[in-house]
Amino acid sequence: MLPTHALPQYSIDIHGDPVHYTVAGNGEILLLIHGSLCDYRYWRWQIPALSQHHKVLAPSLRGYWPAALQRETAAFNIAQHVSDMVAFARQMGSGRPIHILGHSRGAQIALELACQAPELVRSLTLADPGFRIAGEAPSFPFHMSVISLLERGEVEQALSEFIDVVNGSGTWRHMVSWFKTMVTDNAYTLLSQVREINLGVDLAEAHQLRCPVLLVGGADSPIRYGSRLDILEDVFNDVQRVTIPLASHGMNLANPKAFNQELSEFLAEVEAGGTGLGLRA
């Protein structure tokens, strides 16, 4: 167990603003990109395990704790977060390719990072991506009821509704206190994120990537995440897919041992097998 207070915090200037992050270990770099309502604390069960063989970098995206937004702003968006993470990866890796993992909303950021800067990507891991793919019909915006609750100051009810939709009914009620603290700290990011509800991702560039890709799903994740993985499995040229048992969308927390093992084995295979650069053909 690695208590939250044991995670050292650093910051680096990216595009004129600080990006806060934690780092541990030595070796090839593994960049962990969190999803909605989270920050670098989300990876508390991954950092001690994965840093045994890698230099693990876990940033908090712009607008999240420890500088969490309290109101809506157009500056909070996928494109900005991708731009930030491209710059972060380039600076922290001195321009060399690194391993990149993104979870949920963070998977979209990781994918778009790889498409924009394939020379920076040693391998790409996408865990339960939830994005809409270009050409698909818009989905029902359940976020709107969550936003209404936040605007009325009913923060816990809003978070309960959001978490239960993305993880499964009753999840919020069983969440541990540190997780509830983290998502409460980041609650108002949803006011800005609501504009992304039906943002579509064009997979044409993803098809051109040549880096090894690992797709990770939770055995009990809502079906929409599995449908994303089904599509992506046919998109990439060098792809593996694994399912984490006894876990839903927050698979790295529900079954960290299995999650960490699958990721470690994939990274070891990539590092033993060649350069694995994300270069386009």
CA 30/CA 123 separation, integer angstroms: 9
Kindly state whether residue 160 falls inside one of the protein's structural domains: no
Q: Where are the beta strands (DSSP E) in 107-259?
A: 121-127, 132-133, 200-201, 213-218, 239-244
Does residue 191 lie within any of the structural domains? no
Domain presence at residue 192: no
Residue 195 — very low, low, confident or very high, per pLDDT cuts 50/70/90?
confident
pLDDT > 70: percent of the chain: 94
32 - beta bridge partners? 101
Is the predicted pLDDT of residue 274 greater than 90, yes or no? no
How far apart CA 223 and CA 220 sit, in angstroms, is 8
Taking the complete model, does pTM exceed 0.75, yes or no? Answer: yes
Domain membership of residue 188 (yes or no) is no
CATH code of residue 132: 3.40.50.1820
Structurally, the chain folds into a number of domains equal to 1
Host domain of residue 110: 4-139+199-273
Residue 163 lies in a domain: no
More confident of the two residues 265 and 168: 265
The answer to the question of residue 93 being in a domain is: yes
Please tell me the chain's helix, strand, coil percentages from 3-state DSSP, rounded to the nearest 5. 45, 20, 40
For residue 19, being part of any structural domain is answered with yes
pLDDT at 60: 98
Q: What is the pLDDT of residues 125-147, one digit of tens each?
A: 999 999 999 888 877 666 788 99
Residue 181 lies in a domain: no
